[in-house]
Amino acid sequence: MMRSTLATLALVLLLAACGDKPAAAPEGAGEHAGEEHAEGEHEEGAEHAEGEAEEGHEEGPPSTTMTAEVAKRSGVEVAPVAPGTIADQHEVQGLLTPVEGRIAQVMARFPGPIRSLRANIGDRVRAGQPLATIESNLSLTTYTVPAPISGVVLQRNASVGAVASEGMPLYEIADLSELWVDLHIFGADAQHITAGSPVVVTRMSDGVTAETVLERILPSTATASQSTVARARIQNLDGLWRPGSAVKARVTVAQQPVALMVPLSAVQTAGGAEVVYVKSGDTYTQRPVRLGQRDANRVEVLSGLKAGEQVVTAQSFLIKADIEKSTAEHDH
């Protein structure tokens, strides 16, 4: 009886031991499962690394940075994109002449030998200033010939010792504080240019400009060129506008309002496209733009910019050069 009980207890313990043991896996199953897990981790890691690499090499628009101090020292200036007007302008050429009524002849009143001449071509004289003395053949006394107006001596037509006849011109004096600008207009342009049109006159010798308006269109054409002559008046403030000098002029015949515009000095060409440089903080970013109408100073912006954005208007070529240099160094 005791033996039977012991045998039964041993069988129960054996069965309990067999139930706790895990089932054996097929040979090599664990090894392959580890390899597949490792491969999965490797592929996932590679994709993640590739994604990070692509994200790291994503490039934005070309730009450069410049501190406010360096920008100021370099002459870099900015201005906001804003509405404005584009002028319809005609480029013409012209000639400076003295204003009619401001030229005077200095003449001998009585015949006789010229005893003195006190001015030369180019001298400035004032009204009443003695310019010559002549001994009269009639009274055998000398008399003085004064300057009739203030101005500049344009011509001297006599010499000391010569005999002056009555009414002989000794000098020609002109008041050159103002000058006529006679602009020569050809063909169909004459139909668009009228009195009152704004004019910017440019001195060819040094590029100095003067702003004025057309006073009149002369009724006859210039004989030699068969051009219509439009006349304006300028102030000769520095005395360097000289009669007989050729000048250039821009006559504005109309003005067209536009929603956005920038100075022409803001526009550069990069990669065959027109671009400007937008400032944000110390960063200057190259921005392609589509442009419309333009005049001598401004250009309409059709797309690429928003009102109020700050664009470089002076020394924009320096920003362009800095960006191109940085791009070249990055490529190498």
Q: Are residues 119 and 168 in the same domain?
A: yes
Structural domain contains residue 264: yes
Q: Are residues 212 and 93 in the same domain?
A: yes
CATH assignment at residue 182: 2.40.30.170
Q: Give the pLDDT band (50/70/90) at residue 154.
A: very high
- Single out the residue of 317, 262, 282 nearest to residue 86, CA to CA: 262
pLDDT of residue 207: 93
C-beta of residue 277 within 8 angstroms of C-beta of residue 312: yes
Contacts of 296 (CB under 8 A, 6+ apart): 87, 89, 200, 250, 264
| 3-state DSSP assignment of residue 55 | helix
Mean pLDDT of 103-118: 97
Q: Are residues 132 and 281 in the same domain?
A: no
Structural domain contains residue 11: no
pLDDT of residue 209: 95
Q: Are residues 191 and 248 in the same domain?
A: yes
Q: Are residues 247 and 290 in the same domain?
A: no
Structural domain contains residue 45: no
pLDDT of residue 208: 95
Structural domain contains residue 58: no
Residue-number span of the structural domain to which 75 is assigned: 63-87+257-331
C-beta of residue 72 within 8 angstroms of C-beta of residue 312: no
Q: Are residues 94 and 195 in the same domain?
A: yes
pLDDT of residue 48: 45
Q: Are residues 187 and 249 in the same domain?
A: yes
Q: Are residues 189 and 295 in the same domain?
A: no
Structural domain contains residue 182: yes
| 3-state DSSP assignment of residue 183 | strand
Q: Final residue of a domain: which of 152, 174, 196?
A: 174
Number of domains in the chain: 3
Structural domain contains residue 129: yes
Tokens of 13: 């313990």
Instruction: Determine what percent of the chain is predicted with pLDDT higher than 90.
Output: 70
Q: Are residues 218 and 324 in the same domain?
A: no
- Burial of 7 by CB count in 10 Å (0-12 exposed, 13-18 middle, 19+ buried)? exposed
Q: What is the pLDDT of residues 259-278, one digit of tens each?
A: 999 999 999 999 899 999 99
Structural domain contains residue 314: yes
Structural domain contains residue 204: yes
Q: Final residue of a domain: which of 208, 225, 255?
A: 255
What's the pTM? 0.61
Q: Final residue of a domain: which of 157, 174, 191?
A: 174
Mean pLDDT of 9-23: 43
pLDDT of residue 166: 95
- Asked if the model's pLDDT at residue 178 lies above 60, the reply is yes
What Cα–Cα distance (Å) separates residue 33 from each residue in 43, 52, 80? 15, 29, 66
| CB half-sphere exposure, 242, CA atoms < 13 A | 9
pLDDT of residue 332: 58
- Asked if the model's pLDDT at residue 34 lies above 60, the reply is no
Is the pLDDT higher at 27 or at 194? 194
CATH assignment at residue 155: 2.40.50.100
